[in-house]
Structure 1
Amino acid sequence: MFESAELGHTIDKATYAAAEPPLRADLLDAQFDVAEAKQFAVIILVSGVEGAGKGETVNLLSKWMDPRHLIVHGMGVPSDEERERPPMWRFWRALPAQGRIGVFFGSWYSDPIVGRVQGDYDAAALEQHLQTIVHFERMLVAEGVLLVKFWFHLSKKRQKKRLKALEKDPNTRWRVTKADWKRFKHYDEFRAVSERVLRTTSTAEAPWFVIEGTDECYRSLMVGRILLNALQQRLQQLSHTEKRILAPPLVAPIDQRNILNTLDLCQSLQKSDYKDTLEHYQGRLNLLVRQLSERQRALVAVFEGWDAAGKGGSIRRVTGALDARWYRVISVGAPSEEEQAQPYLWRFWRHIPRWGRVTLFDRSWYGRVLVERVEHFCPEAAWMRAYGEIREFEQQLVQHRVVLAKFWLHISKDEQLKRFQERETVRFKRFKITEEDWRNRAKWDEYEQAVCDMIDRTHTDRAPWTLVEANNKYYARIKVLQTLCQTLEATFD
């Protein structure tokens, strides 16, 4: 891949001077068209060999384009806060919204490349990193992001010459550090690892553009033209039709038996036994959560279930065991305008807690395969691919020491009707019932099928579902607390 970049590409200054003004104007026009359309975001990755012109290119783009719609992220060494969350968390937080262009100077490629050269990762770990990146970029593109990846290359001989020239000039000496020379000593190792990384991650959705960095004029014009072509092409495709799903449709079992309607909903706990049992498990949970920080762990609990199944009551019994400084409850509803301008999982990634903390989701990222599927709020292509995106998301959480517990609170259709009617008649419960709840109830069978598909496709060894028989509220609350305690204990052991 790098051989094609080592051809000694050059552009004379007169040619550059003639080509630069119209290119700059066209780029600015395209940028404003993107900003006006607000239908997709643009991400530009700038990576490559030291001294190959990465910084100069970022500065050039900032000069050529309107900085109001161009956000540059210099992704250096992770902070303490960032290290306590999954590696991709800091990149999710920095994603540009629709209509904006984000430039990543240093990206999700830096850690796996440097880590492999330094011996922090073996070949298997590097491959795992790369597959995570491929999934991430595929998801971004599927969500409509225009992803343009530039790798700036120099031969070993030219890099040495470039570093010496920069170091010799008093005005540019600051650009060359001891770390640059240290990396130069490992040029061959970096090249071998980088070659593998680029070949693995140059996909149809997100190909790499390798730019020879020797000649500034050539480098600048190539980057500008590649970016302009990508922007113009995407702008012309704004009227594209919805992607079709060619996979066989998901169907219910022909005998109508499923994981929900075979649950024993007669499970119960007497009120007289409830108080002491509640005190026991809340105390146990409190002691376990105190250990999260020293064990470098975080806890995320997801609560899904039928309307009126008791999600709120279960969450209150969990928080009743915790110090208010340790936890947050995220109540998930319809996405805001800010959230709609980002990839779907963005609004959940930003709430992932650091070590020692607890986050409880009252509804969650599963809305895409439940309400959005049933109510046709998103195209079939989006919710069908969401199963894989969710599994990848949860795997990243668990791999980075997040204890993940997922609950589906299940009640019978008759029990739900009883609770709905009670909410309408009891004054202090009226706020809990809405017309939307009744509309959802009318689609019980469709939701039941969606829930069964969700559990079947996202129940994994590392992120299992716990089905809670919730016709009896006391039993359901204790089962939730007991499961959280057992999950934490098993993780700590």
Structure 2
Amino acid sequence: MNLRKKLMVAPGAKVRLKKFDPAFRGDYGSAEDARKELARNVARLADLQQKLYGEKKHGLLIVLQGLDAAGKDGTCWHVVSAMSPLGTTVTSFKQPTEEELRHDFLWRVHPHTPGRGQIAVFNRSHYEDVLVVRVHELVPKAVWSTRYDRINEFERLLADSGITILKFFLHISPEEQLERFRQRLEDPARQWKISEADYKERAYWDDYTEAYQDLLEKTSTPHAPWFVIPSNHKWFRNLAVSEIIEATLDDLDLKLPKPTVDLDRIRADYHAAVARGPADADTGGKDR
């Protein structure tokens, strides 16, 4: 199954999230069935990232969005961690600072976008400014409703500069979210993730659903598509995201750059050094 084609939100399409099954798992019966393919994808990502970093003709921006406990951090651990930190950054956009609020809403985002040769991951992103801002009425509708066009223009600018954009909405059910909250409460290793806002935000589930539907409709474009990733099964979420990233990078036909030095001369120097043997042992200064 071509998950990239299956899960992409077609530009201009009407989106109703109730039609997307968050428990969908494709042709896979279990995590065990998908383990080998996930391992292959992850290994391939490491190879492709090396070529991206060396060639420096393209960059990649990965946007992760989803409700609390959807698995944004988990996706970073299990998929993004395959990529070398030498050319990968992860940024999380939380509540803006006073300084950030004094600028346009994209001001804090642009410095964190990738350059050519780099991969940047947004764990929450500029889309918070048409999500939480809208749901909690932090600015008037006349303000947030114009931001879809600004976002599309911003992403068009990035794409025109050689940046490939992939946007993933990690889609879970309210029942699965509640179960993950329970696991956090019972697992000491996860309790640090608990927030007082977690349960309060559940009261806005329908409002967030409507907000996500609008942003998916208005900002899934040919140069910056959205993918709705069924995320009730964490293993399928990781598999789907890894497959889409891998296929997208593969389409770029990445190649390592050719050497910029005279290899024949360097080989000759190397062989000459080998023929001379190791440097004379230290004589304790007697012959100096």
TM class, shorter-length: 0.7 to 0.9
SS for the counterpart of 1:350 is helix
Distance 2:34 2:220 in 1: 30
Distance 2:105 2:151 in 1: 10
Distance 1:369 1:311 in 2: 18
1:291-440 counterparts in 2 under 5 A?
Answer: 291-293=51-53, 294-440=55-201
State whether structure 2 residue 33 is matched by structure 1 residue 273. Answer: yes
Match of 2:3 in 1: none
Match of 1:260 in 2: 17
8 Å CA contact retained: 2:164, 2:223: no
SS for the counterpart of 1:407 is strand
Distance 1:410 1:431 in 2: 23
8 Å CA contact retained: 1:331, 1:362: yes
SS for the counterpart of 2:79 is helix
Unmatched 5+ stretches in structure 2: 1-13, 255-288
Number of matched residues? 237
Distance 1:292 1:406 in 2: 19
State whether structure 2 residue 49 is matched by structure 1 residue 289. Answer: yes
State the 1:285 CA deviation.
1.0
8 Å CA contact retained: 2:23, 2:231: no
Residue identity in the other structure for 2:83: L
8 Å CA contact retained: 1:403, 1:491: no
The structure, 1 or 2, with the larger RCO (C-alpha pairs under 8 Å, 6+ apart) is: 2
1:167-186 counterparts in 2 under 5 A?
Answer: none
RMSD between superposed Cα atoms in Å: 1.6
Unmatched 5+ stretches in structure 1: 1-256
Distance 2:59 2:24 in 1: 31
8 Å CA contact retained: 2:166, 2:225: yes
SS for the counterpart of 1:324 is coil
Instruction: Give a deviation string over 1:237-260, Cα, whole Å, max 9, x none.
Output: xxxxxxxxxxxxxxxxxxxx9531
Residue identity in the other structure for 1:296: K
SS for the counterpart of 1:291 is helix
Distance 1:478 1:383 in 2: 34
1:207-246 counterparts in 2 under 5 A?
Answer: none
Work out the percentage of aligned pairs sharing the same amino acid.
Answer: 35
1:56-67 counterparts in 2 under 5 A?
Answer: none
Moved over 4 A (4+): none
Scaled by the length of structure 1, the TM-score of the pair is 0.47
Match of 1:183 in 2: none
SS for the counterpart of 1:261 is helix
8 Å CA contact retained: 1:299, 1:403: yes
Residue identity in the other structure for 2:218: R
State the 1:264 CA deviation.
2.4
Distance 1:258 1:403 in 2: 23
Residue identity in the other structure for 1:277: E
State the 1:278 CA deviation.
2.3
8 Å CA contact retained: 1:301, 1:359: yes
SS for the counterpart of 2:77 is helix
Instruction: Give a deviation string over 1:291-340, Cα, whole Å, max 9, x none.
Output: 22415111110000111111111111223211111111101100112212
Distance 2:194 2:17 in 1: 24
Say which one has the larger Rg: 1
8 Å CA contact retained: 2:15, 2:216: no
Residue 202 (structure 2) aligned to one of 441, 450, 467 = 441
